[in-house]
A and B are shown apart, each in its own frame.
Chain A
Amino acid sequence: MARSGAANRVTRMATAPEKIPIRLTVNGNHMELTVAPWTTLLDALRDHLDLTGTKKGCDHGQCGACTVLVDGRRINSCLTLAVMKQGAEIITIEGLAHDGELHPLQQAFIDHDAFQCGYCTSGQICSAAGLIAEGKAKTADEIRELMSGNICRCGAYPNIVAAIQQAKERS
């Protein structure tokens, strides 16, 4: 049944919702934090863990700016509740470089000038890391299709596809 409205909700809530302690592994580091049930993974990363590399674009699953890897798979962190990812392994854009060396995708995005304002870039790169791990995209058409969840308002698409092709070949 559809039922809605904040007004109804107040009367239904018998006791105030409690904050919930969670453990996450973020970029290889064990993190313990306490969040309200409605905290998204995106807000937990940005506001609780100060990892602001992951961006909030639409906050509704429509742009891909918030893409991170959870247990190796790319997802939209804006539609994910942090409490539902208890114990998960999260990789954000901050976790891709190793020992001061850029991830091949980061290097490829620089080599191909695959951004203008850069707002979508961390989501693009995390999404592309997921795409390479999936191993389903072989052609440029397939890269375009499987990267369609990442919108670039600056329209850097041709260079983004070229950068992903370079990183794919070298991975």
Chain B
Amino acid sequence: MIPFQYARANDVADAIKQIATDPSAKFIAGGTNLIDLIKYDVEGPSRLIDISHLPLRSVEPTSAGGVLIGAMVPNTDLAYHPLIEQRYPLLSRAILSGASQQLRNMASTGGNLLQRTRCFYYYDTATPCNKREPGSGCSAIDGVNRINAILGTSEACIATHPSDMCVALAALEATVHVAGPAGARTIAFADFHRLPGNTPQRDTNLEPDEIITAIELPPKGFSANYSYLKIRDRLSYAFALVSVAAALELDGDTIKEARLALGGVAHKPWRSTAAEAALLGQRTDAAAFAKAADWLLHGAKGYGHNNFKIGLARRAIIRTLGQAARGTPQSNSDKKIR
């Protein structure tokens, strides 16, 4: 691998100080994305600041009735935590649908948010890519773009954000707690990831010298009516082509509140207020779900190889809403989609 220096951060303040004094340094948590990218020479930090030992490993109820998750909590521990399994099973299922158990054991809550796209060209340093090398061009727009985005794209980049966990966090309206030289602040989940626009090299609104310290979940977990459906080329250990997080609050079979987020289709987890509003007051039937799907996919555009994603997403949304309404969430081990 390519040479870099290594230092351990003693505490959050030390981590911020270290990153602020060396703009070419990077934090490392689980390492499952960063080490991979360094091996491909896509990332080239001069120094890695090890934050994996910071005491940000607790999952605790908040006084507001939600849950605060430390940024270093491994994905597995979060998915199996009783508070999450019982109150936010949508999050638990989404996490367990991603990667493999070995990777989930390593991956951190904060790192999951900051994983980079899996666009083939981003990984291939022999090809132009605006995300990797701003201004060099986008190879995917006219290239092999089967896995690329259909919503919120720009001329500069049609990459997707690959996380499953983030799709659930978007639907649950989590908040990201960050800290930097200017102090601590919180970022609403919807404002955390960015659309590519003219700056596809920036995935998020986190500043380079800021660290994620925690993720906060609001009280509402939708534990009765939810489902996470992930469609991919293999039944496990593969990134989503399309994924859907659906969460409903019902009064009989009338929808009182709806949350709907898509993964694998955009530069960030994709939501639409119009789609969620269209479900309010409706009966839980296929016609209402189809209408919401059309709103959520409003403006979707294929780039050739990925045209199939539009129809696939529409059907997946309808299925997932049905699973949520029936209270029969998609199982991660029984692969049949009912």
Contacts and interface: CB of A to CB of B under 8 A. Distances in A.
B228 to A, nearest CB: 14
Interface residues of B, number: 47
Interface string A75-104: 110011101100000000000000000000
Interface stretch (A24-32, A46-54, A133-141, A162-170): A133-141
B333 A80 contact: no
Contact of B28 (A9, A16, A59, A81): A81
B41 A6 contact: yes
A40 interface: yes
Contacts of B48: 37, 81
B205 to A, nearest CB: 13
Contact of B106 (A1, A9, A76, A144): A76
Given A6-B2, A17-B6, A1 B50 contact: no
Interface in A140-164: 141-142, 144-151
B100 A149 contact: yes
Contact of B101 (A40, A149, A151): A149
Contacts of B134: 2
Interface stretch (B29-37, B64-72, B320-328): B29-37
B4 A74 contact: no
Contacts, number: 138
A117 interface: no
B10 interface: no
Interface string B25-69: 000100110011011011110101010100000000000000000
B31 A146 contact: no
A37 B48 CA distance: 9
Interface stretch (B125-133, B169-177, B283-291): B125-133
A75 B101 CA distance: 8
Contact of B201 (A1, A17, A130, A145): A1
29 contacts: A1-B202, A2-B43, A2-B201, A4-B125, A5-B44, A13-B46, A15-B5, A37-B3, A61-B32, A61-B102, A61-B103, A64-B102, A74-B105, A76-B102, A80-B31, A81-B6, A81-B28, A81-B48, A83-B6, A127-B101, A130-B101, A130-B102, A141-B335, A142-B333, A148-B100, A148-B235, A148-B236, A148-B237, A149-B103
Interface of A: 1-6, 8-9, 12-13, 15-18, 20, 36-40, 59-61, 64, 67, 73-76, 79-81, 83-84, 127, 130-131, 134, 136, 139, 141-142, 144-151
Given A79-B106, A81-B6, A149-B100, 14 more contacts: A1-B202, A2-B134, A5-B125, A9-B4, A12-B46, A17-B3, A17-B4, A75-B102, A84-B31, A84-B52, A141-B335, A144-B236, A145-B236, A149-B101
5 shortest interchain CB distances as A-B pairs? A149-B100, A37-B6, A148-B236, A38-B1, A12-B46
